[in-house]
Structure 1
């Protein structure tokens, strides 16, 4: 079981012996890691930009499309259900095989080592849209130029910041778990698996190098870029615009057009109003595929003690007037 950020605030005070590192670079990002990060941002993005003219001129096969969609939603749900709702916020308890599977699925999204991801996000919730938040779009002020600069920072820039979140302070529970610590340190391995599965399947299915190459382009590069920018949009767009029907101490908003691609994460206002809720899309018509899968895990006996939203809890967090929610 994971603990919520509120519980973890006092954890470092009771800590006596130093914990082992859960990432190869520890809390700092070395220059080689920064260069690698830049490559993993720019190369898939260039592939995403090239995807439109390529699809227009040559088309995309059903196999390539299927691999892209399958790998996208495996990684996306690994992030939303695993890294976010389970490991960061403890929205439910998971049996050991599911816990390991979610850690690996999230790692295959190529968004960084598990423990670093969780530490950053717990810190984000502790200081959301205030000083100390690692990726608030309001970091530089509220004027239009400042917001434009802040949106870039929240979307991409913060990942190159030299000041890193101390993992031993914000994620000691995960560092103490040998299996989770190992998966976090094996991030390069899971990245390689994530990138190589599509060309392997594409090559074997078509029995050609061309099939492997196109599968790598769509199922690896384009998929990773799309998932990256959707995830980063939760940090940037969902903290700058969107409806806010629930009370929160920050500027988190609901952005409906990101709901399907973000697997329910863009119903961000409720999440910040009630961070441990297993469902983010709680209002009528708000699709949340992550919550649906958690429900299936619960019905299968793989998950338990799920923190589903309750009517009285939601009512206590609603804004008093409709005008405030607009």
Structure 2
């Protein structure tokens, strides 16, 4: 087992294209760290530098106490699971899982024990004599995991391992991966563009964009306290609502105004906004908006319902506030229809204001 430390880690491709800017990240021993972000954000490049599959352009990479910048992949004590499984089609499940150990000239009895133990933990024992073409996608991915497990590495690296599975299988495999991590108690670094995977799997998540690390933290901390507008919009389904407008002061009060919307900010948030008067973005998550047809006494703004998605126990209500789109969550039996004029009551303790050049969350 080992911790992994990135110190000013950088990747520059030919032509001066910077894929990963100077990144600092500490991954603790036995931690499940998820690197998440949109395509092209640098997450897979970062993982491949840790694996030794990409040359490091600058900075330091340590696995445990060892500097591994120039250490070949086979000597880094890591195992990688790829998106496309990378199984040998002519080999049985047993031979696929044993192959790496045979290359290392591990004793035959030890190979057999490790393979059968891993197969049992992954519920693959009855498939050991089959070839990959006779397995489902989920079973193939478990074989790929088993091949990594038998090596007993210090660090597991997983590069979008569930992206080729259907939605139902992804949910099942997320559970299996979480249980596997609890059993193995080893360091895992997982790359995905799917923020639901990130939220459900990671002890901590690292959100990346354009080669920069935007925020690192526990999933709920990142969800509740996003440091900037990018993180707020990327993490969460449905996404956070954003209203573009401006901050202004009248008398002793601070307001956010947008179209026909005018919201007085509570004093604790207003105090933090005084240096950012002018252009700003108001953010609130759909579940922190209460819908009512009657004008409430508390602070609210109005909208018109465009359409509704019924989701069983809840319904997502899509509205127009002025010319801007807003989504709110409502209880399943709340009586509401397209075309209704309604009021939206935000939880003012859970609103966010983004402003400044980096669109940072100034209410934190």
**Higher strand fraction: Structure 1 or Structure 2?**
2
Same fold? TM cut 0.5: no
Higher-Rg structure is: 2
Q: Greater relative contact order (Cα 8 A, min sep 6): structure 1 or 2? A: 1
Tell me the TM-score range normalised by the shorter chain: under 0.3
TM-score (norm 2): 0.25
TM-score (norm 1): 0.27
